[in-house]
Amino acid sequence: MKIATFNINGIKARLQALTDWLEEARPDVALLQEIKSTDENFPAAHFEGLGYHVAAHGQKSFNGVAILSKPEMADIRRGLPGDEADEQARWIEATVQGAQGPLRICGLYLPNGNPVPGPKFDYKLAWMDRLHDRAQELLAAEAPALMAGDYNVIPQDKDARNPEAWTDDALAQPESRAAFRRILNLGFTDAVRACHPRADIYTFWDYQAGAWNRDHGIRIDHVLLTPQAADRLTDCGIDRDLRGGDKPSDHVPVWVELDI
DNA sequence: ATGTCGTAACGTTTACGA
């Protein structure tokens, strides 16, 4: 089963590029972030026409996540537990059935957190605490599961082409990195690093300052696997060519292949 | 060039978030 995560930066602006990629890459499941759309305005019928079931968790203008899945989805849950007052649409999960059993799939859009310091950075760290708690629950189930999406965390200096350019940014703060490690160290596998240990692997290039042409990228889109899912990992990749295509998102898809 | 996008609205331009 091929599962991909893709921060599309607006469904309206990305409908054509996303459709072309779905038809080319043919993921069984696509986790989307920054749909920037309400559930009502998300073009579900369009994706159903491409053979996908659709589950969206959106809001007006900003944020928003969705799952496109060829297999039927069960037990769909929207919103990260732990704060009833949080109205930002950043988390969705569902269970899909593989040939050998179920897989729990979580899609996330972690808060950016800039500027540092400030309330947005505080919100990021609080959100990561809640993510830690949900991650712990997933591990306790001792079953195949993954959490994939735009983590807005550069885990290590080697995950940036120019780490010195990010020292004041929320994505590279020691607190952001520690919170990410704390989740990883519960027992998750960073799938991309498991497949590609070499340094220069990026998933995001800013629209500004010719970042793409100069390959000034960062690795912030991650797929974290429980041990039971990591045991099934056969391949993974980053579709970086999309960044050079027509009307690209500033992120590119990251995918894993699981024998499940 | 504080360098670019996407979204929304008191819209032909500005504000915000990234």
Asked if residue A158 has pLDDT above 80, the reply is yes
- DSSP bridge pairs for A57: A65
Q: Tens digit of pLDDT for each residue in A58-80?
A: 999 999 999 999 999 999 999 99
| Averaged pLDDT of chain A | 97
Give the closest residue to A93 by CA, choosing from A126, A59, A55, A139.
Answer: A55
Task: Report the C-alpha gap between A120 and A129 in whole angstroms.
Answer: 14
The predicted model gives A15-36 an average pLDDT of 98
Task: Report the C-alpha gap between A160 and A196 in whole angstroms.
Answer: 15
Asked if residue A199 has pLDDT above 80, the reply is no
Strand B footprint nucleotides (protein C-beta < 7 Å): 2-9, 17-18
The CA–C1' separation of A115 and B12, in angstroms, is: 32
- Out of 3.40.50.300, 1.10.150.120, 3.60.10.10, 3.40.50.10150, the CATH code matching A2-258 is 3.60.10.10
The band of A197, judged by pLDDT with boundaries at 50, 70 and 90, is confident
The CA–C1' separation of A199 and B16, in angstroms, is: 34
The predicted model gives A16-31 an average pLDDT of 98
The predicted model gives A42-50 an average pLDDT of 97
Give the closest residue to A112 by CA, choosing from A64, A148, A150, A81.
Answer: A150
Q: What per-residue confidence (pLDDT) applies to A95? A: 98
Nucleotide closest to residue A11 (CA–C1'): B6
Q: Tens digit of pLDDT for each residue in A109-154?
A: 999 999 999 999 999 999 999 999 999 999 999 999 999 999 999 9
The predicted model gives A82-108 an average pLDDT of 97
The band of A42, judged by pLDDT with boundaries at 50, 70 and 90, is very high
Amino acid (1-letter code) at residue A115: P
Nucleotide closest to residue A41 (CA–C1'): B7
Asked if residue A96 has pLDDT above 90, the reply is yes
Note the Cα A251 to chain centre separation in Å: 10
Enumerate the active-site residues of A: 109, 150
The CA–C1' separation of A14 and B10, in angstroms, is: 29
Task: Report the C-alpha gap between A126 and A129 in whole angstroms.
Answer: 5
Stated pTM of the model: 0.98
The band of A18, judged by pLDDT with boundaries at 50, 70 and 90, is very high
In this complex, the residue with its CA at the shortest distance from the C1' of nucleotide B1 is A209
The predicted model gives A165-184 an average pLDDT of 98
- DSSP bridge pairs for A251: A204
What residues does each domain of chain A span? 2-258
